[in-house]
Chains A and B, each alone.
Chain A
């Protein structure tokens, strides 16, 4: 793909992202005029508008965007690492570990950042467990890692069901919403956004190396890639991205699998283009889904994960069908 095409692709995604952010800030139970939103962002507006935008809608908008970006980039990295188009952070048991951590905290009656912290710890524990077990006696193949991840994920799934079965009825709705992804309790968006931006910048000089890795690890080694350290780095980065996303919004499924695929079908498989494009497109998808989730049956809210799946599945199937 030539340079001007790349710029255009990223430009289109950037415009879509800005439109989604603007939509998310103006649409809601109290519709706002775009002019009012702009004036609030630049320090004007009345008291109600300021509270509505700066304390409620803006943090949630940015959290949604960051969550989607993190998950999509993590998915793209996992697919390159495992050279398997079906890989996604959740397949490797990360979300399962996070979910068990969060559900245990909720069952214990705590709320707020303790739930997030527990989810983060669960995701990291799962990462170490999968990587340690797959590493085993030293042979470390993508198939082995994938299989270990799938089995560990199944184990977490059983634990989740157990926790839900033991939970008192009063706590069940909160737990189920968390499992399906829920941004209404998201805290400050800045840590997640910062992680997303820093990782994208760090990954840029690795882009061509990742392209070579996608062609298989022996081919990459012969072309000058130190495969093992790179695979560790990619796995740890993808785990970190997923953990941060899950901590922010619960388990929003599907984004990590479907966004990188859609983009590959549209703009090819150069990681230098795909990774930033994933950050923008993933963010936009989750943001639009969250906007829909909070207005469609307002004042009730739907879990965002349901909307991402309902929007993503048909789009993905259409693109796949069209691509040959």
Chain B
């Protein structure tokens, strides 16, 4: 299983003078949450970690190899990304959309086999989307589309999962279902890192959190040490009330 590391990484946010250099290690079995207000660079960080953007300085390593030196296909076998927004140019069905997750695993001459189709259908079933199989993706609701995106990465089956607000558009039941799925994936040795806006989901389901402040500063650590009301109030510029439920902190904005 794969490890994602950053060495003194500074992401490139236009117009921001400086920022904390991030040196973190996302190990197999860990679930990381990235928290911070709008525009702080959560998406930019995820895209930099996936090798889609070049950092201002520092490096990203995947299993010890420099991400910048790896080919896209090799990266895609180890790392998957669920985007916050979906670009659906041409009409495609839900099954076809899940099936593209097999792309990094097939040679140019190979057609998708019955076993590839089986993997895509299993992934859709995991995301409660198997009945949508023949629907066109641009006709889906926001939440259904989000579940199909996660199913694509399930089909891709990488060791490292990056997710940009995976609970976007999802109803309460599916939010919890996705969090359970991610925990389960971590239990089988995947490393998970996701941008989140919901403090309570982060408190309940993450092991580690990275807090990103608007001035470019950042800090990270185990969830229990990081999610303190005073820190979170300064992070979001919002007063909070905290309580505890079943041994887990709960935050309510007031």
Contacts and interface: CB of A to CB of B under 8 A. Distances in A.
B251 interface: no
Which has the most chain B C-beta neighbours within 10 Å: A206, A216, A223, A225?
A223
A211 B72 contact: no
A211 B100 contact: yes
Given A224-B72, A224-B73, A224-B75, A218 B52 contact: yes
A221 interface: yes
Given A212-B100, A215-B88, A269-B91, A221 B72 contact: yes
A269 B109 CA distance: 18
A216 B92 CA distance: 13
B108 interface: yes
B89 A223 contact: no
- State which size class the interface on B falls in: 20 to 34
A54 B103 CA distance: 47
A83 B103 contact: no
A216 B89 contact: yes
B71 interface: yes
Given A216-B87, A216-B89, A223-B156, A208 B72 contact: no
B50 A222 contact: yes
Interface stretch (B20-28, B77-85, B178-186, B209-217): B77-85
Contacts of B91: 264, 269
Contacts of A299: none
A215 B85 CA distance: 12
Given A219-B83, A269-B91, A224 B77 contact: yes
A227 B76 CA distance: 13
A209 B89 contact: no
Interface string B92-124: 100001001101101011010000000000000
Interface residues of A, number: 25
A258 to B, nearest CB: 16
B107 to A, nearest CB: 8
A264 B136 CA distance: 14
A65 to B, nearest CB: 27
A237 to B, nearest CB: 16
Contacts of B76: 222-224
A227 B97 CA distance: 19
A215 to B, nearest CB: 7
A170 B213 CA distance: 74
A170 B79 CA distance: 66
Given A205-B108, A215-B89, A226-B72, A221 B52 contact: yes
Given A3-B111, A206-B108, A215-B89, 19 more contacts: A208-B103, A215-B90, A215-B92, A215-B100, A216-B87, A218-B87, A221-B72, A222-B52, A223-B101, A223-B104, A223-B156, A224-B74, A224-B103, A225-B103, A226-B72, A226-B73, A264-B91, A269-B90, A272-B111
20 contacts: A205-B108, A206-B108, A212-B100, A214-B89, A215-B92, A216-B87, A218-B83, A218-B87, A219-B83, A221-B52, A221-B72, A223-B76, A223-B101, A223-B156, A224-B72, A224-B76, A226-B71, A227-B72, A264-B90, A264-B91
Can you list the 7 inter-chain pairs with the closest CB atoms, starting with the nearest?
A224-B76, A224-B104, A216-B87, A205-B108, A224-B73, A83-B89, A223-B103
Interface of A: 3, 83-85, 205-206, 208-209, 211-212, 214-216, 218-219, 221-227, 264, 269, 272
